[in-house]
Structure 1
Amino acid sequence: MPLLETGINSWSVTVAKMSTSPAISVIMPMYNSARYVGEAVESVLAQRFTDFEFLIVDDGSTDGSGAIIRRYAARDPRIQLFTQENSGIVASVNFLLGKSRAPYIARMDSDDICLPDRLGEQKKALDSRPELGALGTQFIEIDGEGQITDDAFRHPVGVDAIRARLLETQPVCNPSVMLRKDMVLQTGGYRPAFRYCEDYDLF
């Protein structure tokens, strides 16, 4: 039985060559995120761990988000942009899961940023603990201007604490989670019936 833990307290330019077999697939659905997506992308590209592919789906944006990503993709071959008619987050994430090539999946949202050691620290933890199926992080809340509004660590740490909290609420910050791809596929991925709480359903 795969276990899930929140235990990393860190967060996401050197251009790396595209790996034919990346260690991590970063997947990011995007819809009308022009105001924030540049910072989100730059935080991923600034990761100290560089062996990843960065898969982004433009879910029918009408604000120029896709053009922003195309400019980044022209400079960094790790970025792959897909476009589709607006289909929602569940369809977008499942589509990207199907395109991913790495054994580890790192979720990212287009209006978030991650600190430079996020991917490396999560991979190290999952490598050392094969019983874990997923690993989240704590997070810092920021407003639309990037100012910190709350830096309290609120998520439980450890498998037992998370299992207990799951009975009441979602105890994992979904856009910070790293998952084992095979475990996610065994569960059937994100289920369309839970389009507004697909992460809670998955965990």
Structure 2
Amino acid sequence: MNNIFKYIIITPVRDEAPYIEKTIESVSCQTILPSQWLIVDDGSMDGTGEILDIRAAQTSWIKVIHRENRGFRAAGGGVMEAFYAGYSVLNDENWDFIVKLDGDLSFSPDYFEQCFRIFEVEEKLGIGGGTICQLKDNQLKVDSVGDPLFHVRGATKIYRRACWEKINPLVKASGWDTIDEVKANLHGWTTRTFAELKLVQHKPTGGADGFWRDRFKNGRANYITGYHPIFMLAKCVKRALRKPFFLESLALLAGFYTGYLKGIPQVRDPEAIRYLRQQQIRFLLRRPGIYGQP
């Protein structure tokens, strides 16, 4: 079909050799192809860069940017640094949507077309994306159970250009994929996940770090983002009875409150943090807001 929706994709990757081909195949088979796909190899050591170079040589709209290996994986801030390494070499200004896409996903050939149709109908939708799932026991399991209504997983973010121009640049820190949505809502846009559109994430979330470290990092990201301490405590109480019992809550609390103890800097956006905390208190008081109605 005609490419009536013009979009670009930026994909930061590091050591994704077992999965990146699945993502390349999924994008290459889309009913609406991207105008440009910038894939940033963030110092991979497992052959990811070589795979990307081969595929880029075969596809005119794929461009690979290679970054030096820093010697360690840098979640959050490192991801955004790699993202902007791609954004900085973008040479196509004729686009309607910009997509941040992980390199370990697979999805249906009409995924982006269906997403853009939703944006077409919902004129105030600023950020959207499908539901991240994982294969467990040969069944697709939704990975985003319990996420706020306004949240779109960082693995698949689609930004409408008018919204992007209001919230760009994104913060280069853990929690970037919440602050972007907070800022979008603050500017009058809506943000949401499309429950009916599913993507398979082949590398388990936190797979490189383990369960405790992954949840600890989530708690630290909540701190950096500026979560209200009372809201964070309520969140952890709610999750205490979710398997593995208490472990997730303890890790979240440890990551969050040690941020205060160590004096780690938070996001430098007082207006966004104030708005986020107001919305969190509204939720605790059972008032409607971006978190929905409890």
TM value normalised by structure 1: 0.72
Residue of 88, 92, 113 corresponding to 1:98: 88
In structure 1, the partner of 2:164 is: 184
For 1:62-104, what per-residue CA distance to the aligned partner results, in whole angstroms no more than 9, with x for missing partners? 1111110111112111111111124721111123233343220
Q: Report the residue type matching 1:162 in the other structure.
A: L
In structure 1, the partner of 2:30 is: 47
> Which of these two proteins has the greater Rg computed from alpha carbons?
2
Residues 150, 182 of structure 1: alpha-carbon distance in 2 compared, 3 angstrom cutoff? same
Residues 115, 180 of structure 1: alpha-carbon distance in 2 compared, 3 angstrom cutoff? same
**What is the correspondence of 1:65-104 to structure 2 with a 5 Å cutoff?**
65-86=48-69, 88-100=78-90, 101=92, 102-104=95-97
Q: Does the Cα contact within 8 Å between 2:127 and 2:157 map onto a contact in 1?
A: yes
Residues 181, 141 of structure 1: alpha-carbon distance in 2 compared, 3 angstrom cutoff? same
Shift of residue 126 of structure 1? Answer: 1.6
Shift of residue 155 of structure 1? Answer: 6.8
Structure 1: gaps (5+ residues): 1-18, 164-170
Q: Is 2:155 aligned against 1:175?
A: yes
RMSD of the TM alignment (CA)? 2.8
Distance in 2 separating the partners of 1:189 and 1:71 = 31
In structure 2, the partner of 1:8 is: none
Residues 79, 180 of structure 1: alpha-carbon distance in 2 compared, 3 angstrom cutoff? same
Q: Does the Cα contact within 8 Å between 2:153 and 2:177 map onto a contact in 1?
A: no
Give the secondary-structure state (helix, strand or coil) at the position aligned to 2:106: coil
In structure 2, the partner of 1:3 is: none
Q: Is 2:141 aligned against 1:150?
A: yes
Percent identity reads 21
Distance in 1 separating the partners of 2:134 and 2:96 = 29
Runs of 4+ in 1 over 6 A off after TM superposition: none
Distance in 2 separating the partners of 1:113 and 1:184 = 25
Shift of residue 147 of structure 1? Answer: 4.7
How many residue pairs end up in the alignment? 170
Q: Which has the higher contact order (CA 8 A, sep 6+)?
A: 1
TM value normalised by structure 2: 0.51
Structure 2: gaps (5+ residues): 71-77, 182-294
For 1:110-153, what per-residue CA distance to the aligned partner results, in whole angstroms no more than 9, with x for missing partners? 1122221111111222233332111122232136xx95451487
